[in-house]
Structures are given as structure tokens and as C-alpha cells.
Structure 1
């Protein structure tokens, strides 16, 4: 990699890079690390609620995958400096850069059987990010879902190729290649490969933490993620209807008051 990640003094030290592929349990891992005292993790949800950060990540993606003359990668610490943990996209698009930029951070590669991973990906994220399915909601909510879907699709298409023509064999091949690349980038002593279901002991042993007296978190299974997406879309429609009807309701109330007073 010719371009070097720019770094300044962080607000907090970067402790962990969770570089597992989407739909390998990264949400559960984020929750587990929070239980262990690492706080919240940087992930795509943070980006979508911060327009300036969205622009910075898009510019970084342009720089790496569609090179722009005289553009450098962002100051990673400016984007990530308040977090001890980075997980999921868009961070994993810059796995090599972040591994180099934060040499003291430990790396967790969440993994999943390729067949199970593909089934989960196909039945969740590919459904949620289908442009036809979300067209109306994106139009109604241009600054929310209207930004989220194109950005999330862009991340996945860099990793997997065009989503509209994606096929199982190619997707699984890219998934396996991605995991192999992380293994090559990280020295064994700095890397933990973790599959959901292995419990606290393996994770805590790697991090030097005591095992918590709570169950290991379980987040974002297929049912949870689809139900959450459906609630989000219907919430967008409800807010749009309320916004549309409110001026009409006010006007009708004024007209009724005028009529009642005989003015």
C-alpha cells in the first residue's frame, strides 16, 4: 500500500480492530466488548448519523478504490479517536491501513462457515439493500435511509461485487479470500479468530479479561435484523404521513374555530 495512514494523538487508545466480515457476528462481538469495558465501537451506524463523517469515508473510499489525484487518506484518529474499538464496515474496507496505523491494537477476525454466512447475507443484508424494495422509503427519507442504502451498498459491492448480479459461488470465494488476507496481514500473536458460540473464555483469554457473569450477547440474527428494518421503513412512512397531515389538520382546526365563532 503506497499511501500511509495519517495519525495524530488519539483521544483514547485504539485497543481492538474487529475485522470480521459482515454477518459473522460483529454486532454480538461489539456488545461483548462493551460488557468487557471497551465502550461503544465505531461501525456503520455511527457513520449514518454523522453527515461529515459520511463524506470523509466516501472520500477515503474514492481515494483507495477510485484514485483521485492529490487526495490522501483521512486522519484516522480524527474519525476514530474517541473509540477503543472499530468493527464492521466501513472500517474493514481499510483493514490493512488500520492494522498499520494502530500497531498496538489487537485484531479479532469473526468467522462463520461460508455456507451459513452466505445464507445469512442473502436473507438479510441483500434484502434490506435491494433498491427496488427501498425506493419509496429512500425518497421519503432522503437524509436517513436515502443516505444509508447507497453507502451500505457501496461498501458491500467493493467487497463482493455488484449486488444486483451477485452469485453464491463468487460471494463465498470473496468472503474466504477476505479472511485469508486478514490472516496474512496480522501476526498470529496479535490475531484472534473467533466464531460465535465459542463463549467468553476464548475471548477473555485473548484480551486478558475476567470472564463476566452474564451470557454472551446475541445480536442481529436474521429475524432481529429484518424486523428492525421493517420497523424502520414503516416508521419513515408514519412520520411522513404525520408531517403531511399536520398542516391540513391545523388549517381545518382554524376553519372550524372561525366557523364556530360565526366570523
Structure 2
């Protein structure tokens, strides 16, 4: 859907955009989730609305993926003229993909520990993800729990958004015709519906995060070794001088 919107001339904000400026984007989404879902003092920290969303995603004209999809009700209210696309996907296929990527990431002990060592990428990413799935499924990654949360999410949107404003897009079935009619856009000529491989893309980001962590560990180990050797040589030289 992100690729299709770009081909139609839109500038969509997908969740992967966060990796372009991790400290800014992840931390702003963390703030947004804390304000809108876990706010015990709304008089001190107002919920995100039009002004705050403009600050976060104002340079884009569409938004997809997590964490944004959790804010569907707030975004619909903040932008009353915006149209909403509900991308229907088989729950079993969704779970297979999610379990191999985001849920796998949340279950790896290394990342849970390393978040405290990395304040630029992995730390904000992990805290952002933890809040996302706390809202979505209470951080319970059992198959039955997350599947029910997925189905409930769809039903809540269907019940709240007027049909005139909502497109139910059937993944694997619908294409340019359905999307372009809904958005009042011309259908691209001789253009097949785009395909993407989000599992591979997510794994790529995780590989980069792991590689960065390993580099830091190696640097720390090297520094520790250098300090140890330096201290040994200093003690040895001092001992020789003392004689």
C-alpha cells in the first residue's frame, strides 16, 4: 500500500520511516502513546491532536503501519477530511509474518538488555515497540491472544468510521481499481499492483541493529583491554622507578 500510494503521487509515512531519524521519530511516538493511552495527568500532558500530529508527521499526506494505526481514532478526529483504508489480511498470514518479525524481536533477551546501552536506535526502537504491543495485546504474544486483538482492532474501526470515509481493501484481491476509485485518482496505465517483502526488510533493520551492538561491544572490549594493558605497564614502570 505504501508503494502504491507513492506511485499515485502521495508522500506516505510508513513505520519504517522512523529508521531515518530514530531518536526523533521513535521518541515522539513514545511520547504520543504515553499521552494518548497511558496518561494519568492529561491536564499536564495533553493528548496528541492536530497540532502534535502535524509536528510529528505534518510533512506527509498519508500514514500507515504501527504505531500510527493504533491512533486511528485520534487521527480520524484530528484530520476529519482524511480517508481511511483498512487493509484486510488473513489473520493467519498476518500472524505468521508478525511472529517471524516484530514478536520475535520482542522475545529476544539480548535486545531487551541492549536497549539500555543504545540511546540512539535500539533503545528507542525497543521502547516504542514495547508500548505498541502493550496497547495492542498487553505484551502477550500467544497466538490466540494476538489474533483476537487483530480481529478486535478491525471491528472497532468498522464500527466507528462511516462507510463513506472507509475503504476495506482486500489484500491479494483488490488493486488499483478499488484504491483509485476511493481516492478519486486515475488508474495507472499498464501498472501491476506492487509487491513488497516486509519480513526481509524488518530482518535487515534487525541485522543492522545487531551489527551496531556487536561493534559497540567490540569497541568496549578493546577499550577495556587497552586500559588493562596500560594499567599493567604503568604499574610495571612505576615499580621499576621505585627501585
User: How far 1:122 moved relative to its partner?
Assistant: 1.3
Judged with a 3 Å threshold, the aligned counterparts in structure 2 of structure 1 residues 138 and 199 are, in CA distance, closer, same or farther, namely same
- In structure 1, the residue matched to 2:100 is 123
Gaps of 5+ in 1: 1-28, 249-263
Say whether 1:30 aligns with 2:2: yes
Higher-Rg structure is 2
Q: TM-score, normalised by structure 2?
A: 0.77
User: How far 1:220 moved relative to its partner?
Assistant: 3.2
The answer as to whether partners of 1:109 and 1:193 remain within 8 angstroms in 2 is: yes
Q: Whole-Å Cα distance in 2 between the matches of residues 53 and 121 of structure 1?
A: 22
Larger RCO: 1 or 2 (CA < 8 Å, sep 6+):
1
Q: TM-score, normalised by structure 1?
A: 0.71
Normalized per residue, the structure richer in helix is 2
Q: Whole-Å Cα distance in 2 between the matches of residues 55 and 172 of structure 1?
A: 28
Equivalent residue runs for 1:1-263 within 5 Å: 29-41=1-13, 43=15, 45-46=17-18, 49-69=21-41, 70=43, 71-74=45-48, 75=51, 76-135=53-112, 138=115, 141-163=118-140, 166-197=141-172, 198-212=174-188, 213-238=190-215, 241=218
User: How far 1:243 moved relative to its partner?
Assistant: 8.5
The answer as to whether partners of 1:48 and 1:147 remain within 8 angstroms in 2 is: no
Gaps of 5+ in 2: 227-243
What's the RMSD between the two structures over aligned residues?
2.9
